[in-house]
Structure 1
C-alpha cells in the first residue's frame, strides 16, 4: 500500500468514525457471543469431540482472567445444555447469536460507502447462514489443530511416509487455520455488503482487508494478552468484573481489526 492510499485510509477511518462504530459492534458482539457459544457447544454434542479440548484452543489467545471467565460460563452451559435444548431453542439461539454478524454487515456497508437496500429478513438470513458456517468452520479448524498430529501420524505410519512429509504436515496443519480465517473474512467482506448494479465485488478484491484483519487480530490479541498477563491487573481495579472488562476491551480490538480490514477494501472497491 503506497503513501497516497495510506493517507486515504487514514482520512476514511476518521470520516467513517471507526472508533465509534467499533464500540457499537463490540456491544452487539457481547450480546451475541454467549448465544453463539450455546449454539456452538450444542453442535459439539453431536460430534463426540470433548468440549474442553477444543474450547481451550479456541480461547488460548485471550488473557488468563478472561479465559477463566469464559471457561466458567462454558462449563455452566455444558452442564445445562442438551439435545432437547438444541431442538427447542435452536432458532432463537441462532437468531440471537447472529446479532454480531448483522452489526458487521452494517459496518462493512459503511466502509464500502454502500446504502443498504435489502429487507431485514434477507439481511438476517445472510447473518444466520454465516453464523452456521462460522460455527462449523471453527470446529473443523480446531479439530485440525488439536487432532491433526494424531490423524497425520496414523496415516503416515499406515503408508510408511518419511520424516520429511511428517514435518511438512506439521507446518500445513498450522497454516490451514490461518488460510481458513483469511478466506472467511474475505467471504464476509464479499457477501455482507448490499449488491449495487454498478458495483461488482470480486473475492480477490477483499483479500487485502482479510489478510490485514487476520494478521492484525492475531498480533494484537497476543500483544494484549501479554500486556494483561504480565503488566496490568484489572482484578485490583474492577474486582470480579476484571475478566468482563478485559473481554470487552478484547472484543473492541477485534471490532477495530474487522472494520479497518473493511476500510482497506473500501478504498479499492468503491473509492471516494
Structure 2
C-alpha cells in the first residue's frame, strides 16, 4: 500500500481499490471488537462476561441449535398427542366422577399458548375411556412407542452437545426414551390432578377445618408454584441423565432454571403475538393451530438445547478461576468429536478441581 493509500482521506474521495481496503479494515476492527470486547474491559470481570456471551453465541452456531431443534420437532409432534391421550385415559380410569373439563385446561393457560389449548380442548371433548382391557393395552403400547421416540430424540439432542464418555454403556436412546416417558407420564398425570382438583381440595379443607382460612390467591400461588417446580424437575432430570453419561461435572440446575423461565416467557410472548399480531388463520386455514403447535415446539426445543449449552459452559468456566482462560468454542473446534475438551484446560487448574471421570 502506498503512502497515498495510507492517508486518512474521506471515504468519498477514495478510489475503488482504496474503498475496498478501508472496508476490510473496518470489518477487522468491528470483528475484533465483537469477539474480544472493548479494550477497557479486557482482563476484567466485564471482559469475562463479554467473552462468555460471545462464546455462547459461537456455541449456538457450532452446534447448529436451530437445525437440531427442527429434527427433534417431528418426533416430538408424534409424541405430543399420544402422550396427551394416555394421560386423559389414565385420569378417566381413576374414577367415574372425575372429568377433565375445559375449566381444568384453563388452569394451564399460563404455560401454554391459546391455540395449543384449543387443540387440547378439542381432544378432551372427543376422548373417552377405553371399552375393554385389550383396547387399553393397545392404546398404552402405541402411546408409549410414539412418545418414547420423541423423548428419546430430545435426549439425543442434548447428548450431542455434551462431550460423551468412552465407557458409556451402549443403551439405545429408545430404551432411555421409554424409561423417561414413563417417568414424565407419572409427573404429568400428577400435575393434571393437582391443577384440576387443587381448588376442590382446598375448598374441602376450608369446609371441614374451620380454623384454616385459605385464600384464593394462596391456592393460585401453590398451584402455579407446583407447576413451575414440576417443569424444573422434569428438565433437571433430563439434563442430569445426560450429564452422567458425559465427561466433566456438568451441572444441571442452571440450564433447567433457564429453560423453565424461558419456556414460560415463550408461552406468554407467543400467546400475545398470536392474539394481537399474527393472522395465521387466514393464511393456513384449519391447519393454523397445528402450524402454531409446530412453531411452539420448535422454539421450546431450542430453549431446551440452549439450557444444555449453558450447563456445558458453566462446567467449563468454573474450572478456570485465574485471569487467563480459554474459550470453549476455541477448544472444541480443534478436537475430534470423541475427544475430551476438559483435557485441554490449562495445567494451572488443580487436579482436584478437574472434572471427575467416575462412572455413575
TM-score, normalised relative to structure 2: 0.66
Q: Distance in 2 between matches of 1:79 and 1:168?
A: 33
Query: In structure 2, which of residues 289, 297, 305 is the aligned counterpart of residue 251 of structure 1?
Result: 297
- 1:214 Cα deviation after fit: 0.7
- 1:185 Cα deviation after fit: 0.6
Query: In structure 1, which of residues 184, 187, 191 is the aligned counterpart of residue 241 of structure 2?
Result: 191
Q: Which residue of structure 1 aligns with residue 257 of structure 2?
A: 211
Q: Distance in 2 between matches of 1:145 and 1:90?
A: 23
Q: Which residue of structure 2 aligns with residue 51 of structure 1?
A: 100
Native 8 Å contact 2:110 2:264 kept in 1: no
Is 1:41 the counterpart of 2:88? The answer is yes
- 1:243 Cα deviation after fit: 1.4
- 1:109 Cα deviation after fit: 1.0
Q: What do you get for the CA RMSD once the two structures are aligned? A: 2.7
Is 1:7 the counterpart of 2:54? The answer is yes
Native 8 Å contact 2:63 2:161 kept in 1: yes
CA change 1:75–1:157 in 2 (3 A) is: closer
Native 8 Å contact 2:161 2:308 kept in 1: yes
Q: Distance in 2 between matches of 1:124 and 1:85?
A: 24
Query: In structure 2, which of residues 287, 293, 312 is the aligned counterpart of residue 241 of structure 1?
Result: 287
Q: Distance in 2 between matches of 1:228 and 1:5?
A: 33
In terms of fraction of residues, the more helix-rich structure is 1
Comparing 127-136 with 215-224, greater Cα deviation is found at 127-136
Q: Distance in 2 between matches of 1:64 and 1:166?
A: 24
Q: Which residue of structure 1 aligns with residue 148 of structure 2?
A: 98
CA change 1:186–1:71 in 2 (3 A) is: same
Is 1:151 the counterpart of 2:205? The answer is no
Q: Distance in 2 between matches of 1:240 and 1:170?
A: 34
Native 8 Å contact 2:205 2:212 kept in 1: no
Q: Distance in 2 between matches of 1:108 and 1:223?
A: 25
Q: Distance in 1 between matches of 2:273 and 2:189?
A: 29
Pick the structure with greater CA Rg. 2
Secondary structure (helix, strand or coil) at the match of 1:113 reads: coil
Native 8 Å contact 1:115 1:194 kept in 2: no
- 1:176 Cα deviation after fit: 1.4
Q: Distance in 2 between matches of 1:95 and 1:25?
A: 16
Consecutive unaligned residues of structure 2, counting only runs of 5 or more, are 1-47, 318-327, 329-360
Q: Which residue of structure 1 aligns with residue 170 of structure 2?
A: 119
Q: Distance in 2 between matches of 1:174 and 1:60?
A: 8
Q: Distance in 2 between matches of 1:246 and 1:266?
A: 31
Native 8 Å contact 2:152 2:177 kept in 1: yes
Native 8 Å contact 2:255 2:307 kept in 1: yes
- 1:162 Cα deviation after fit: 4.4
Q: Which residue of structure 1 aligns with residue 69 of structure 2?
A: 22
CA change 1:42–1:119 in 2 (3 A) is: farther
For each residue in 1:46-100, what CA deviation from the matched residue of structure 2 results, as whole angstroms up to 9, or x when unmatched? 2233122544445664444443334334434x14844432213422320211112
Is 1:138 the counterpart of 2:188? The answer is yes
TM-score, normalised relative to structure 1: 0.85
CA change 1:68–1:194 in 2 (3 A) is: same
Native 8 Å contact 1:60 1:67 kept in 2: no
- 1:270 Cα deviation after fit: 5.3
Q: Distance in 1 between matches of 2:60 and 2:249?
A: 23
Secondary structure (helix, strand or coil) at the match of 2:58 reads: helix
Q: Distance in 2 between matches of 1:23 and 1:47?
A: 37
